């Protein structure tokens, strides 16, 4: 596929967004207005700018990344617009900001490539941990940067200066930063971590220093879990650590010990936090406490059921009945209005995007790039799987965003940066 | 190092495949259940303002209709012109409380299909009709009005059936409520008041409340006696002042605390006419538990009766329960103790006797028709079960006629019409008795069978009997119907 084909697909995605907005307007009886053109222009600007930056600074990058992300962004944006026009207007700004940041990242890497990411790994480790801890800043101190709590989880920081008020989930960026650190660290240590095993009867036990990184990962995620009380973010982080350790060493023991530690952590969380217990019981039987804890997931199931095969059509369903439809539950809104056709298309698109990411990893000859691409693809795939499975009641609900589709600046920025990294990795491997 | 990366990729792709399977299950297989769940806000919203079909009485009185909003012809409001009179039959379709009664049972026909789902649009393309269908009841509006007026403000029920077809001619439960008030702005407050009302206006006493049938149950005991050859109308039975219950110091007495006849012997015919408890208690003991249970079940007790509305089963204990409790058997034979029947079930008993022993399947809806008035389906009469042989039915019919001519039921007499009936006065242990009358007319070619029940003696209170309170109500209903239909 050529760059020109990629450009054409991006324009197509922008057109999908614009047509979607037009359909929502018509369904609401509002007629066509500036929103349609504005959406088209912003989509073209964001993805067009990204595309041009790739042409300029990473010309050998995989041409599949942007079109897949663009169609997901387009569908997500239309559904956000359908649910809340105010949020959609903000989302357009976030889209532009995310594109500008992704372009800046490509620009910054144009000469040095990924080398600095690899070299300054402890800077990344520190900044990653710092980002994770930022939401624990006091809510009421003098500095304009404060942490705060939402829905029982403390994942947010808020920047307030005069009339300006910005909210951000630093954990979204922390994932990328920590993945970078791990790729760099593991690409150097993999030989040591992988081979030395001490026999113990039939089993072979890894050395203490081999297990140390796992324990650190577990401790870090557990800190996130305890202080921020968010199972989703901590699971995502922990799984990323374990998956990258496994990718670097091929040792299944990391997976089993990781699984065991996660089970223990989840059990402890269940015993300690009432909101975790509520989520588990709402998962087991949402209709047992329909009016309260089960309400949200039940509304999500109603939305999927009402969507059926072909959906109600954009703007014609009632996804606004689901609390948090524009963020965590965006996939349920899509299931209702676009039906099985739409929801399967979205899942398939995620699968393709994740496959492209893993493809980049598999084709990489350099260990660092291989691990980084694999880690990024894994975290993108796992996050999508967890939240889609959560809103469908396949898994207990975890409050995380659906990449590219949910409303939310932090999520959009983080995932655009993730795309830029994948693009750069694929460029360097081919160039 | 590619091996583990490939495995991670495989695990995630399998996870996505699971998502596809699960979303398919959720939207297509389990989907309809979630879509139609009563708690789904879309279900509730889709019903408001949509047109629904008509509900008509047999004589084409409008019982429920949708009236278009003058400002928005696409929006309709539901109206029940007869308000309280049909509340328990027609039910309601309310945004706040969902659907009830026939509005619920026939919702699939009555609702408009015009809600833009793809399958409905497809069926429209194939020539399907998306407009709501209408239903017509077997109930006669004139008779329903007469029955309701005759019952008045007393708590109770009237069920009238056409014996040879099973058509419900009238079904009244009192007190009632105005379903229109459950649709409007004060729906919540209205419902709260109705739920708190100790007279239970929301309950359908005709089909969903059971009462001890009292002496009306003697019809079934008599049927058992005749069918088994134990006794006929002329059979003479011993006539004690009181019946001592085996193994106890308790006794069964007659209503007037006197002997039934001359104190020596009395015929079954006289005992039936005068509704003597002593004689029927003893007869029950003679017949035995098994014969009574079999006969009660032949008349529909302990069985699910097919009907458009939900029905509570009437109850007669299994014969094994009497093996160590003969006093209970004697008391059950006079319709007391654990015997329980709905007015609906006792009307079916009367109808079976009137129809040569054959119980027809009761039904409330006669036909469903489309928006053009074309009949889509017609509910043909069908046989439910044989209760007794034609000759037994004929003998019981004669016995019941004597009850009205010169027995406890004389106040059901309609001039120049042969009326058959049986009264009942069921002790409740607390408060005044529940009083009954079941019967049919005209005896030679019955066109109506009915059951009247008045709870707790009605306005007569402690002094009420089936003959004094329930029989006059039956008289008004039978007179109206026979005069109208000849």
Position A168 confidence tier, pLDDT thresholds 50, 70, 90: confident
**In B353-392, which positions are buried (b, 16+ CB within 10 angstroms) versus exposed (e)?**
bbbbbbbbbbbbbbbbbeeeeeeeeebeeeebbebbeeeb
Q: Using a CB-CB distance cutoff of 8 angstroms, which residues of chain B are in contact with residue A351?
A: 12-13, 16-17
Domain boundaries, chain A: 3-181+274-430
- pLDDT > 90: what percent of chain B? 60
CATH number at residue B322: 3.40.710.10
Which A-chain residues 211-230 have CB contacts (< 8 A) with chain B? none
CB within 8 Å: A304 and B20: no
Give the integer Cα–Cα distance in Å for B103 and B99: 6
Instruction: Provide the domain count of chain B.
Output: 1
**Residue A9 burial class via C-beta count within 10 angstroms: exposed 0-12, middle 13-18, buried 19 and up:** buried
Give the integer Cα–Cα distance in Å for B330 and A201: 82
- Among A299-313, B118-132, B160-174, B418-432, the minimum mean pLDDT is found in B118-132
Secondary-structure percent of chain A, ordered helix, strand, coil, rounded to 5: 70, 5, 20
- Among A18-22, A106-110, B111-115, B142-146, the minimum mean pLDDT is found in B111-115
Position A129 confidence tier, pLDDT thresholds 50, 70, 90: confident
Q: Are strands B242-244 and B251-253 parallel, antiparallel or unpaired?
A: antiparallel
pLDDT digits (tens, 9 = 90+) for B267-280: 999 999 999 999 99
State which residue of chain B sits closest to A363, comparing Cα positions. B2
pTM exceeds cut of 0.80:
no
Quickly count: other Cβ atoms within 10 Å of residue A130's Cβ.
12
CB within 8 Å: B13 and A378: no
Contact A381/B at CB under 8 A:
yes
B339, part of any domain: yes
pLDDT at B120: 66
Domain that residue B312 falls in: 211-366+380-485
pLDDT digits (tens, 9 = 90+) for B126-137: 777 778 899 999
List, in order, residues 6 or more apart from B66 with CB less than 8 Å away: B51, B52, B53, B76, B77, B78, B79, B132
Quickly count: other Cβ atoms within 10 Å of residue B151's Cβ.
24
> What are the φ/ψ torsions at residue B210 (nearest 5 degrees)?
-110, 150
pLDDT digits (tens, 9 = 90+) for A236-267: 888 998 899 888 888 887 888 888 888 888 88
Give the integer Cα–Cα distance in Å for A82 and A42: 17
Mutate to test the interface with B, among A195, A289, A306 (most CBs of B within 10 A): A306
B166, part of any domain: no
CB within 8 Å: B12 and A339: no
Give the integer Cα–Cα distance in Å for A400 and A231: 9
B437, part of any domain: yes
Q: What is the DSSP string of A55-79?
A: HHH-TTS-TTHHHHHHHHHHHHHHH
User: Residue B8: which of A307, A318, A374 has the nearest Cβ?
Assistant: A374
- Mean pLDDT over the full length of chain A: 86
Which of A94-98, A172-176, A284-288, B130-134: highest mean pLDDT? Answer: A94-98
């Amino acid at each position: 596929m050529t760059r020109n084909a990629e450009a054409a697909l991006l324009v197509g995605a922008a057109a999908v967004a614009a047509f979607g907005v037009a359909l929502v307007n018509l369904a609401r009886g509002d007629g066509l207005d500036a929103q349609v053109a504005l959406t088209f222009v912003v989509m073209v600007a964001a993805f067009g700018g990204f595309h041009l930056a790739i042409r300029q600074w990473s010309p050998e990058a995989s041409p599949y990344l942007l079109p897949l992300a663009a169609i997901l962004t387009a569908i997500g944006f239309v559904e956000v617009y359908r649910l809340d026009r105010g949020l959609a207007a903000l989302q357009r700004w976030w889209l532009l900001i995310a594109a500008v940041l992704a372009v800046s990242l490509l620009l910054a890497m144009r000469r040095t490539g990924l080398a600095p990411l690899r070299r300054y790994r402890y800077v990344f480790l520190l900044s990653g941990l710092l980002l994770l801890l930022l939401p624990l800043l006091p809510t009421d101190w003098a500095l304009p940067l404060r942490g705060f709590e939402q829905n029982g989880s403390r994942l947010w920081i808020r920047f307030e200066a005069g009339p300006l008020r910005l909210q951000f989930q630093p954990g979204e960026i922390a994932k990328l930063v920590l993945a970078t650190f791990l790729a760099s660290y593991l690409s150097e240590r993999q030989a040591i971590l992988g081979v030395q095993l001490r026999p113990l009867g039939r089993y072979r036990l890894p050395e203490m220093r081999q297990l140390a990184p796992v324990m650190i990962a577990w401790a870090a995620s557990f800190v996130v879990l305890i202080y921020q009380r968010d199972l989703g973010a901590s699971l995502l982080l922990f799984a990323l650590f374990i998956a990258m350790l496994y990718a670097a060493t091929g040792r299944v023991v990391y997976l089993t010990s990781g699984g065991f530690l996660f089970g223990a952590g989840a059990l402890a969380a269940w015993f300690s936090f009432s909101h975790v217990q509520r989520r588990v019981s709402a998962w087991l039987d949402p209709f047992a406490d329909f009016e309260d804890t089960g309400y949200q997931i039940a509304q999500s199931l109603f939305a999927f059921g009402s969507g059926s095969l072909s959906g109600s059509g954009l703007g014609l369903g009632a996804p606004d009945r689901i609390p948090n439809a524009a963020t965590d539950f965006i996939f349920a809104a899509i299931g209702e209005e676009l039906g099985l056709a739409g929801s399967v298309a979205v899942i398939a698109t995620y699968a393709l995007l994740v496959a492209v990411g893993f493809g980049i990893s598999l084709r990489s000859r350099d260990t660092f790039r291989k691990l980084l691409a694999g880690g990024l693809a894994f975290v993108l795939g796992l996050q999508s799987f967890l939240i889609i499975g959560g809103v469908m009641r396949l898994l207990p609900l975890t409050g995380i965003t659906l990449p590219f589709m949910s409303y939310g600046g932090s999520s959009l920025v983080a995932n655009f940066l993730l795309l830029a990294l994948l693009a750069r990795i694929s460029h360097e491997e081919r160039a | 190092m590619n091996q583990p990366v490939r495995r991670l990729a495989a695990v995630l792709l399998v996870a996505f495949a699971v998502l596809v399977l699960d979303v398919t299950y959720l939207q297509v297989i389990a989907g309809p259940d979630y879509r139609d769940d009563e708690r789904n806000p879309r279900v509730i919203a889709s019903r408001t303002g949509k047109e629904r079909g008509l509900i008509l009485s047999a004589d084409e009185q409008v019982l429920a209709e949708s009236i278009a909003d003058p400002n928005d012809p696409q929006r309709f409001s539901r109206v029940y012109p007869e308000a309280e009179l049909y509340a328990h039959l027609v039910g309601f379709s309310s945004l706040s409380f969902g659907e009830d009664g026939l509005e619920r049972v026939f919702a699939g026909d009555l609702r408009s299909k015009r809600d833009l789902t793809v399958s409905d649009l497809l069926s429209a393309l194939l020539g399907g009709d998306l407009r709501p269908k209408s239903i017509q009841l077997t109930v006669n509006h004139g008779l329903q009005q007469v029955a309701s007026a005759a019952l008045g403000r007393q708590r109770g029920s009237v069920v009238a059936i056409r014996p040879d077809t099973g058509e419900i001619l009238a079904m009244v439960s009192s007190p009632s409520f105005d379903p229109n008030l459950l649709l409007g702005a004060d729906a919540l407050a209205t419902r709260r008041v109705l739920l708190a009302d100790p007279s239970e206006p929301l309950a359908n006493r005709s089909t969903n409340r059971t009462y001890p049938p009292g002496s009306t149950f003697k019809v079934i005991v008599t049927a058992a006696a005749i069918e088994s050859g134990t006794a006929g109308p002329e059979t003479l039975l011993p006539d004690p002042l009181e019946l001592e219950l085996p193994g106890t110091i308790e006794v069964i007495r007659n209503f007037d605390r006197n002997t039934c006849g001359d104190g020596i012997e009395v015929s079954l015919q006289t005992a039936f006419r005068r509704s003597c408890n002593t004689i029927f208690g003893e007869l029950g003991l003679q017949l035995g538990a098994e014969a009574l249970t079999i006969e009660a079940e032949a008349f529909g007790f302990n069985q699910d009766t097919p009907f458009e509305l939900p029905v509570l089963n009437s109850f007669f204990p299994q014969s094994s329960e009497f093996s160590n409790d003969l006093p209970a058997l004697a008391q059950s034979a006079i319709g007391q103790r654990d015997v329980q029947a709905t007015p609906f079930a006792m009307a079916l008993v009367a109808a079976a006797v009137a129809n040569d022993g054959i119980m027809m399947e009761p039904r409330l809806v006669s036909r469903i028709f489309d928006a053009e008035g074309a009949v889509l389906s017609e509910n043909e009469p069908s046989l439910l079960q044989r209760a007794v042989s034609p000759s037994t039915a004929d003998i019981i019919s004669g016995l019941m006629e004597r009850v009205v001519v010169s027995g406890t039921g004389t106040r059901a007499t309609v001039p120049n019409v042969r009326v058959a009936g049986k009264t009942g006065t069921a002790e409740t242990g607390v408060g005044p008795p529940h009083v009954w009358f079941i019967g049919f007319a005209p005896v030679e070619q019955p066109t109506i069978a009915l059951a009247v029940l008045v709870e707790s003696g009605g306005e007569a209170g402690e002094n009420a009997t089936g003959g004094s309170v329930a029989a006059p109500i039956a008289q008004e209903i039978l007179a109206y119907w026979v005069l109208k239909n000849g």
